[in-house]
Structure 1
Amino acid sequence: MWHSKKVTEVITEMGVDPGAGLSSSEAEKRLEQFGPNEFRDHKKTAIWKLFFSQINSMLIYILIAAALISLFIGEYSDAAIIVLVILLNSVIGVIQETKAEKALEELKKLATPKAIVKRDGVVQEIPSEQLVPGDIVVIDAGRFIPADIRLIETANLKIEESSLTGESVPVDKDADWQAAEEKVPIADQHNMAFMSTLSAYGRGIGIVVNTGMNTEIGKIAALLGDQKQEMTPLQVKLAELGKILGIGAVLISLVIFLIGFFQGRVALDMFLIAVSLAVAAIPEGLPAIVTIVLALGVQRMIKRRAIVRKLPAVETLGAVSVICSDKTGTLTQNKMTVTDVFVNGTYAPLASLKLENQYEKLFFEALVLCNDAVVTTAEQSGDPTEIALVAAAGTVGIDKQLLDHRYQRVREIPFDSERKMMTTVHQNKDNFLVMTKGALESLLPKAATVILNGQKVPLSRTETERIISQANAMSDKALRVLAIAYKEVPQVADLSAEELENNLTLLGLTGMIDPPRVEVKASIVQCHNAGIKTVMITGDHQKTAFAIAKELGIASSDKETMPGNEIDTLTEDELKEKVKKIRVFARVSPEHKVKIVKALKANGEIASMTGDGVNDAPSLQQADVGVAMGQSGTDVAKGAADIILTDDNFATIVAAVEEGRNIYQNIKKAILFLLSCNLGEIITLFFAILLGWPTPLTAVHILWINLITDTFPAISLGLDPDDPDVMKERPRSIRESIFAHGSGLFTLINGAIIGFITLFAFIAGLAFYTGSESLFTIDFADVPQDALIHAQTMAFITLSVSQLFHALNLRNQHKSIFQVGLFSNKYLLASILFGISIQAALVNIPFFNNIFAIHFLTIKDWLLILALSLLPIILNELWKAGKRIL
């Protein structure tokens, strides 16, 4: 723990002379010992491995087996169609994956190309990759820190660490600061400078203590490289479904084969029938349809300002039950802002203040004059605190450029960490204005008077206590307090710095904070209504974090907050219990964020993590859905995330969750549609064989329906308009089955309806075209081939048309199709009309008659088919009406 050691101890341990630095020979030895100051290469996944990962599922294996069997029995067209489906699914997945996993490459780009070091007694510039532990590094303003450094000298040094710690304000660094205890959060280690952070002000000298993968940023790189990709809930459910369907297909096929064999049927015929039944059990188009619906969902998400890097993340986002959000830049504006002021004896919000006397105007002029920030319409540069002061003055009509021109600066005393004050002197006609700003505890003892009710009054004990009370009130709101004072002097040439900063008149106090985004509060309320918890995880101070969380409605009591150092004292089980109640985690490290996300997931939560900094990258990757900010986010965060928000707006996350929920519902509709249709095919074949009938359908009939007729309605269901009530529901459980909430029973009943009306169409066709007196007098042992083909055609068309109509039932299992809007999904209506048209073409064009072994149908045949095919809709509408009445 380098921050807890004295400078002399570090120098001795590193074996270096601070005045001369390392010798070149010693540096070479250490470079060989510790390696270059860079990150280990992250081995990229080969394209063939990515491709294999797309087909590595039980469902795909079953399809491959079906293709091989089709080839074996000479059904080459069937095999070609199945292979085409597999390839389509895999190619789409590979294209998405090759755009991902760039986090480590972007991390490497953060390393600075050059570093200023002392070697052999000479200050020189070297490539940062050649830095070794023990090197003496010189730090100046505007330079990235090239390694983890223990500071040994500092002069007004401030370092911007937001990308690593989440702290929104540059941190004052002090080489003489001593840690009170060994375990101190990174953001509070004031004698350390960390790799890839930025020196914003002042200068310093330090000793390199860690390089490459041993740096804090290197640890993040290691966390990213060690993360394992987990399956999303939908992938898990589809894998389970594939296993169930595979086992079910084999068992049913085996049962049918044995029944037929013991019935005395030809073994080869029974094998072909069993294969047909296996084909019927597997929805061949399911993987491709799910992929296509997800891809179409990605396009819809883009319109809502969310870019999806990984297809399954669309569906997972809809299941999110907790959003872990970084504070700085995500919930807040990442811009220090003056919100409250105490001036002229009055405490008031800045927005409500009106200038009523010269001293109130002078207060705001002091904010601008005692200020080094450059703020124009074209640029803003300087310390964020000073930029905030200029902006505050701008709200009351004071322009910095005009004021700087009017009151020329003639002298200044820069801010330093010991005085905690800054003073500037300005020419004012015949005298001089001395403007001072700084910490109240430093400035108040130097003030002799205070402005009260437009008058200068002596700073009495009563007024002093009142001022301190007002400052405490600002601190209680987690505001950073800054005191402003002035005095007028006739000349400054002979005055010392101490004399300039004595006998001041206190003008007032400013309270500033990085304020929350305006639209975030409403979004958090919407999350709450949707059953989604919001948790703030930040590197900022606990008091500041709670103030923002309370204002946004994330937390109501400080008992719902926890500092990062407390996480280190908890076991995994204890943290699992804690995260159920804690809503704000403050002063956390990247490792803490990962632990928190893991604990939430261990509780069965589906966790989303939002962030923009380098420090967020490991937790973004660990979360079920990592959401990065597109505008303010680092490339590292974007590379580790699943979804990127183009407008950095927390409200967009809520919109994306809503879109994700609707996409999942639509995917579920497509899956249930395909399964109920395939169940209808199984029932048709199973009962026909069980009863000793001829087979109502051939393998090519089944494949055609599964891959062509059913595909377009399934995709159209994936495009179903958004359900306005979807955000009124609780997030679905990670353990929830696709068949939950009555979906399994719905599938079974509708599969049975489709199967039995198909059987009825088949047996009615046999009865009519064999000339039997009734359905019960058919001689199944002596069915003419023409009559069989005619009956099979009726079964084939009834099955396909009834499935097309059944797609309307899937739009909503509770609302009538008229309540949902019969014409609200034009894609579905078009696919139904297309499906009926293409089936009619097959029947009426002789060329297709031969290929599909089907027969021309009469008007009477068509009327029976349409009457039977409408039954699924009629029965479902009656069932829904009954449930609504009851």
Structure 2
Amino acid sequence: MTTPRHAACAGRERGPVPIDPREPTARVFRDLRTTAGGLTSREARRRLEVHGPNDLPHHAVREWPVAWLRQLTHPLALLLWIAGVLAWIVGTRELALAIVAVILLNSALAFWQEEQAEQAVEALGDYLPQHSQVRRDGRPTRVLATELVPGDVLLLGEGDRVPADARLLSGALEIDASALTGESSPVERTADLPDTARRPVDSPVLVFSGTVCTGGSAEAVVHATGRHTELGRIAMLSARVRLAESPLERQVRRVAWLIAAVATSVAAAFLPLGVLAGLTWTQAFVFAIGLLVANVPEGLLPTITLSLAGGVRSMARRGALVKRLSAVETLGSTTVICTDKTGTLTRNVMRVLETRDGVGAPASPRPEFALAVARCTTADERTNSGDPMELALLAFSHSTGEGLSSERRDAERARLFRFDPHLKRMTTVDHLASRYVAHVKGAPEEVLPRCTSARGAGGVVRQLTGQERSRLLDVVNEMAGRGLRVIAVARRDFPELPADRERAESDLCLFGLIGLIDPPRAEVAAAVSACHAAGIRVHVVTGDNGRTATAIARQVGIGGDQVVDGSELDAMAETDLDELLMSGQEIVFCRAAPESKLRIADALHHCGQVVAMTGDGVNDAPALRRADLGVAMGASGTDVAREAATVVLTDDNFATIVSGIEEGRRVYDSVRKFVLYIFAHAVPEVLPFLHFALSGGAIPLPLTVLQILAIDLGTETLPALALGRERAEPGLMDRPPRTRSDSVVTRRLLLRAWGIMGVLSGILVLIGFFAVLLAAGWRPGADVSENAVLHHAYLQATTVTFLGIVFCQIGTAFASRTQYVGLRDIGLTSNKLLLAGCAFELLFAAAIVYLPPLRGVFNTAPPPGWTYALMLPFPVLVWGADELYRRLSRARTSRSRRP
């Protein structure tokens, strides 16, 4: 009868039953049904059938036609489809094809961006080596890493990447687990160490898939492969996390439905109005279509896309690579930043900041002290490899003039007791002349109890009393409180080689204390200050020690009002976490596990915050993917983090995030500016149709559908794009962040677009239209059809309506450049692209009016010369009305702020 633990082998569909790899090796062998000699090749093949290949879960392949169809049915795309169909109905096939081309281009771009964002899980596969050394059939052999199975015995050495989760059987390894745990320092893994760790990932007898052996050699038995490894668990987390829709994507969807509602309502209302006014149902339907076209801003979607693309290029120049266009705007709406510490707030380069003698007094290091520091290391300064802290200690030793080459150090070494994460110390025994000298370095709280004497000023050695030990611990706490990593260095002479580690590390003489620091980046403090001015809170989420993280946070201006340990966070209820995050405090989350980071991102999202989360390791991938904006480190980060994120910092610098926030706010303002610009032209395009309908046809149609399309897809586009590159307004980073409920289209924007500039533009263009007709002798109801006497005058009048809208567009463009400040505050000619766009607009309009082939297409005729004198003031009048409104708004705001 099969036991539950072994039921996994009954069939592949059941999957492997988890075992406890932290049990004694005899039990692990029993549960895995293997031996120290490994599996047979036959058994390995059978288990491969049962457990499956040792690779990570992949996203289900999406059917690309379905994914692309989703882009083609975006609300704005649907409006463009309607515009294209209507253009085809009225006979302008060239414009219809151009609209279709715009739809296909935008959908293809959006589809490509979405595909890029789905590569995070696949990138995790890069952390598995292609081949691994195992013992099968009783002898070492090389196999594909994907063919490893539980029960295989791995042979690991320096430089190897661990291919599966395994339990050490013999030997010792130094492991770089930073990609998995967030810890920057290598950790020791030894088969015979007692396992008292709280988390499996901290166990001294376990190694995990995706980590790297930086030193030593060992044998280990595989207990988990593929999706059942720690790395696989993180991959499953990433696969389950859905990408959040960006604020701009939500707003564009709202704007699209608003436009659709307005266009449909106006067109529907026109049908009965037109019939009541005397039109036939056919005439009413044709001109309802014209109203619908007039209300569809065909250039809105490409303008937004190109504006965001410009923001992407601008951010790339600042050191941030953006993988999704909408992420630019998401940065601008960020309300909370959750940042890592090492390499983001700091330079990720450790250095010795201060030294103390054996009694805790500040002192310059004596030669023996500097040599002891150099001897008690395993790093190699020649290749710049090894623990960053040890590299800093070697640089410090050389700076005193008492440096020691790594060749001489290793040649004189008689014994090495590697750093033990439980003992928190490391010891070397060196053969010097006729004696042996033990050099010990480690955490002060572990080294001090083993010291019986201390070397003070002038090299005088004296016995350590209880009072002096207490004072030394106070010194250590004071140094750690300033963000220093404190290391105690001690020594003892032996006439012969000590028998074991316990003897080598007893009755020591304390040489002194060393305080190391990974200094904050110089520019981070100013960046944090800018965040605070912009109303953005900054939390530190790190796998590092809480005291060090808090000290660094305070040095750069992050409040660090409360420190929450990973275990404390795990035990915290959802409501308590929400309350903590919304308390207004800036919090340091230390020893954060992957689930913890993901939980923080979820909680902030639930509380309505727009979250930017930084990260660099494999363990950060789920949180980067869940946050509104995942920001990965490009220089020091892993491929997994870079694939999961939407923004990659090429310089790993927190200040670049703040630059991105400013750029994102500018882009959002620009989106709002060209939405204002586009909306303002709906009124002068709609009013002519209303006059025609309400007069029952007595007033001829002042504007044709083709001329509307020429405005929406021709004269309007380049100035709109130029507004997308408008510089930031003064005080941009002094505004509070937008909330998720803030809309691109606000009442104030509609008032400016429709109530001020739109209505004024509509009145002005109708004045021009009637002026031309009346000057030609027209009266209401007069015949202006193709063979009538007034037909040419009618063509001139509709041309003046068209040109009048173009002239009003210029005034609208300059008015739209600012939301609050006056035009002189940003400079009349500071936007060169807008000047060029206005020039193109005038040339394009002139071509439609004066080139015979285009005149025939758009039914235009050169107007009388005096009409230009009439239209020249239009831009100034439109801009002046809006400028007056903004000035009055600033005055009201100023009065409301007075005490």
What is the TM-score when the length of structure 2 is the normalising length? Answer: 0.89
Distance 1:133 1:479 in 2: 43
Aligned counterpart, 1:841? 847
SS of the aligned residue for 2:873 comes to helix
Corresponding pairs, count: 863
The equivalences for 1:370-769 within 5 A come to: 370-376=376-382, 379-401=383-405, 409=412, 411-415=414-418, 417=420, 420-427=425-432, 435-440=439-444, 443-444=447-448, 447-461=451-465, 462-477=467-482, 479-486=484-491, 492=496, 504-557=508-561, 560-581=562-583, 583-692=587-696, 693-740=699-746, 742-749=748-755, 750-769=757-776
Q: What is the deviation of 1:163?
A: 0.3
Write out per-residue CA displacement over residues 42-64 of structure 1, whole angstroms, 9 at most, x where no aligned residue: 34445544533332212211221
> 8 Å contact 1:147–1:195 — kept in the other structure?
yes
Write out per-residue CA displacement over residues 286-313 of structure 1, whole angstroms, 9 at most, x where no aligned residue: 1111111111221111111111111111
AA partner of residue 577 (structure 1): E
AA partner of residue 525 (structure 1): S
SS of the aligned residue for 2:847 comes to helix
Aligned counterpart, 2:791? 785
More deviation, 415-424/128-137? 415-424
Aligned counterpart, 2:106? 89
Write out per-residue CA displacement over residues 174-193 of structure 1, whole angstroms, 9 at most, x where no aligned residue: 54666669xx4455333321
Q: Does 1:34 align with 2:51?
A: yes
> 8 Å contact 1:758–1:798 — kept in the other structure?
yes
Distance 1:195 1:499 in 2: 36
Distance 2:330 2:505 in 1: 60
Go from structure 1 to structure 2 and tell me whether the alpha carbon gap of 1:540 and 1:503 turns closer, same or farther (over 3 Å shift).
Answer: closer
AA partner of residue 112 (structure 1): P
AA partner of residue 148 (structure 1): D
AA partner of residue 468 (structure 1): L
SS of the aligned residue for 1:252 comes to helix
> 8 Å contact 2:360–2:475 — kept in the other structure?
no
Q: What is the deviation of 1:215?
A: 1.0
Q: What is the deviation of 1:444?
A: 4.0
Go from structure 1 to structure 2 and tell me whether the alpha carbon gap of 1:769 and 1:645 turns closer, same or farther (over 3 Å shift).
Answer: same
Q: What is the deviation of 1:502?
A: 5.6
Write out per-residue CA displacement over residues 569-607 of structure 1, whole angstroms, 9 at most, x where no aligned residue: 345444333322462222222222222111111111111
> 8 Å contact 1:607–1:624 — kept in the other structure?
yes
Write out per-residue CA displacement over residues 329-373 of structure 1, whole angstroms, 9 at most, x where no aligned residue: 32233344433422254445xxxx645xxxx23212211123222
Aligned counterpart, 2:896? none
Aligned counterpart, 2:263? 249
Correspondent of 1:803 among 784, 809, 812: 809
Aligned counterpart, 1:303? 317
Q: Does 1:124 align with 2:141?
A: yes
AA partner of residue 317 (structure 1): L
SS of the aligned residue for 1:169 comes to coil
% same residue: 35
Write out per-residue CA displacement over residues 51-85 of structure 1, whole angstroms, 9 at most, x where no aligned residue: 33332212211221232233234332331232232
Go from structure 1 to structure 2 and tell me whether the alpha carbon gap of 1:556 and 1:95 turns closer, same or farther (over 3 Å shift).
Answer: closer
SS of the aligned residue for 2:163 comes to coil
Go from structure 1 to structure 2 and tell me whether the alpha carbon gap of 1:741 and 1:569 turns closer, same or farther (over 3 Å shift).
Answer: farther
SS of the aligned residue for 2:820 comes to coil
More deviation, 508-517/62-71? 508-517
Go from structure 1 to structure 2 and tell me whether the alpha carbon gap of 1:233 and 1:860 turns closer, same or farther (over 3 Å shift).
Answer: same
Go from structure 1 to structure 2 and tell me whether the alpha carbon gap of 1:780 and 1:215 turns closer, same or farther (over 3 Å shift).
Answer: farther
Write out per-residue CA displacement over residues 741-788 of structure 1, whole angstroms, 9 at most, x where no aligned residue: 72222122222221222222222222222256xxxxx44577832332
Q: Does 1:169 align with 2:185?
A: yes
Distance 1:89 1:600 in 2: 32
Q: What is the deviation of 1:36?
A: 1.0
Go from structure 1 to structure 2 and tell me whether the alpha carbon gap of 1:115 and 1:286 turns closer, same or farther (over 3 Å shift).
Answer: same
More deviation, 19-28/80-89? 19-28
> 8 Å contact 1:14–1:134 — kept in the other structure?
no
Go from structure 1 to structure 2 and tell me whether the alpha carbon gap of 1:522 and 1:44 turns closer, same or farther (over 3 Å shift).
Answer: farther
Distance 2:881 2:445 in 1: 79
SS of the aligned residue for 1:415 comes to strand
Distance 2:709 2:336 in 1: 42
AA partner of residue 55 (structure 1): L
Go from structure 1 to structure 2 and tell me whether the alpha carbon gap of 1:679 and 1:400 turns closer, same or farther (over 3 Å shift).
Answer: farther
AA partner of residue 718 (structure 2): F
Correspondent of 1:222 among 236, 240, 248: 236
Aligned counterpart, 2:368? 362
More deviation, 190-199/137-146? 137-146
Q: What is the deviation of 1:853?
A: 1.1
Correspondent of 2:92 among 66, 71, 75: 75
Go from structure 1 to structure 2 and tell me whether the alpha carbon gap of 1:711 and 1:469 turns closer, same or farther (over 3 Å shift).
Answer: same
Distance 1:779 1:872 in 2: 31
Unaligned runs of 5+ in 1: 773-777
Distance 2:403 2:43 in 1: 56
> 8 Å contact 1:769–1:790 — kept in the other structure?
no
> 8 Å contact 2:337–2:538 — kept in the other structure?
yes
Q: What is the deviation of 1:406?
A: 9.7
Distance 1:253 1:494 in 2: 96
Correspondent of 1:160 among 176, 194, 200: 176
Distance 1:494 1:593 in 2: 46
Distance 1:338 1:642 in 2: 36
Aligned counterpart, 1:201? 215
Q: What is the deviation of 1:662?
A: 0.7
> 8 Å contact 2:168–2:221 — kept in the other structure?
yes
Go from structure 1 to structure 2 and tell me whether the alpha carbon gap of 1:561 and 1:500 turns closer, same or farther (over 3 Å shift).
Answer: closer
Go from structure 1 to structure 2 and tell me whether the alpha carbon gap of 1:263 and 1:857 turns closer, same or farther (over 3 Å shift).
Answer: same
Q: Does 1:59 align with 2:73?
A: no
SS of the aligned residue for 1:380 comes to coil
More deviation, 142-151/685-694? 685-694
Go from structure 1 to structure 2 and tell me whether the alpha carbon gap of 1:130 and 1:763 turns closer, same or farther (over 3 Å shift).
Answer: same
SS of the aligned residue for 1:329 comes to coil
Distance 1:838 1:442 in 2: 80
Q: Does 1:7 align with 2:24?
A: yes
Distance 2:201 2:551 in 1: 19
Q: What is the deviation of 1:642?
A: 1.0
Q: What is the deviation of 1:5?
A: 4.7
Q: Does 1:294 align with 2:294?
A: no
SS of the aligned residue for 1:373 comes to coil
> 8 Å contact 1:408–1:427 — kept in the other structure?
no
Correspondent of 1:856 among 854, 857, 862: 862
Write out per-residue CA displacement over residues 423-464 of structure 1, whole angstroms, 9 at most, x where no aligned residue: 232546x87765443444554455453221213232231433
Q: What is the deviation of 1:710?
A: 0.5
Go from structure 1 to structure 2 and tell me whether the alpha carbon gap of 1:406 and 1:343 turns closer, same or farther (over 3 Å shift).
Answer: same
Aligned counterpart, 2:15? none
Q: What is the deviation of 1:825?
A: 0.5
Distance 1:2 1:268 in 2: 78
AA partner of residue 757 (structure 1): L
> 8 Å contact 1:421–1:439 — kept in the other structure?
no
Cα-Cα RMSD: 2.9
